Structure 1
């Protein structure tokens, strides 16, 4: 039986990376951070790109990571391999958090962390309005474009409500490749590590 290796060639349909879009890892991308990851781009320019992995949960609650954080029913995710000792967040609270950077629609990145904590303490923030990440994913100028040319990532659109959805994200990669359909839906059938097959 001949395997059609074209199923691993990514056709982006002219969807280029930009903030608010996602990167979906090709099926065999190695490494604990990026293996079958889905990354929301929060910044993209000719200087580089920044994003957060949406589907890799940390097993610790937020108030164990940050001692003085208010009691808040939320998950923490691994954002990427850069600055893993720092907490980052995206939210849908808009300008109520000073210093926030607009991503798209009602999605924002960062802002005044103390103001966010104050809002949470006052009961003004629901868990589906903010997501927290340890570290981030970063690319230098031209680096992401090079990885795209090597078929490492598939660029796609995502609805902001699906970014902020509180339900477990473990199957997010599988759900997204299924949604894309065609040859991409076959990706889920391949083992994460072909050498173990």
Structure 2
């Protein structure tokens, strides 16, 4: 299943269907940084029990869902958005997506109701791989790298099955794996 696309920023990592690590079972990770030192990304489809207003007192009416970005630094808050016109300082990921930006401006724009839930996604923690770790996992076929996706899909909230949608976007070669059971021993 190994893809030949390198996992650069703005690409997706789609976990193989039987990944045993509970942090990454049937997950889709958006890569935001890949350097010689390692790789950083955010799990897009593991919702936490928090809303933004639960974590940031200054955002008293912010009913934005917060996702678990990964097991690293779970006491930190991060965001990906498509509003560089309102939030300055974000890193361009391509496809109209930006990572981070000026947090004080972000809070002001949220409190003034200028940012909608489908324009931003919040994460507690992140996913990180040390130098060569992700490459090793790719060689073991733990991940599929994809650049075939609708950027709006990544910012969707609720019960959307992003993993299944991301796999289907890879084409017929991969579509059959969406039907694999999560636990093959139950088959």
SS at match of 2:50: coil
Length-normalised TM-score, structure 1: 0.86
Deviation of the 1:31 alpha carbon: 2.5
* 1:168 lines up with 2:152 in the alignment: no
TM-score (norm 2): 0.90
Match in the other structure for 1:136: 126
1:94, 1:108 within 8 Å by CA — same for their partners in 2? yes
Partner Cα separation in structure 2 for residue 138 and residue 174 of structure 1: 23
Which residue, 22, 27, 39 being the options, matches 1:32? 22
Match in the other structure for 2:44: 54
How far, CA to CA, are the matches of 1:98 and 1:186 in structure 2? Answer: 41
CA displacement at 1:95 relative to structure 2: 5.4
Asked if 1 retains the 8 angstrom alpha-carbon contact of 2:10 and 2:94, the reply is: yes
| Contact 1:70/1:120 (<8 A) preserved | no
Looking at structure 2, the residues matched to 176 and 113 of structure 1 have their Cα atoms a distance apart, in angstroms, of 29
Q: Secondary structure at the match of 1:58?
A: strand
Cα RMSD between the aligned structures?
1.8
> Which whole-Å CA distance do the structure 2 matches of 1:195 and 1:183 have between them?
24
The runs of 5 or more residues in structure 1 that have no matched partner are 1-9
Query: Which blocks of at least 5 consecutive residues in structure 2 are unaligned?
Result: none
Larger CA deviation: 154-163 vs 21-30: 154-163
Change (3 A) 1:106 1:192: same
Structure number with greater Rg is 1
Number of residue-to-residue matches in the alignment: 186
Cα distance in 1, alignment partners of residues 70 and 54 from structure 2: 19
Partner residue of 1:94? 84
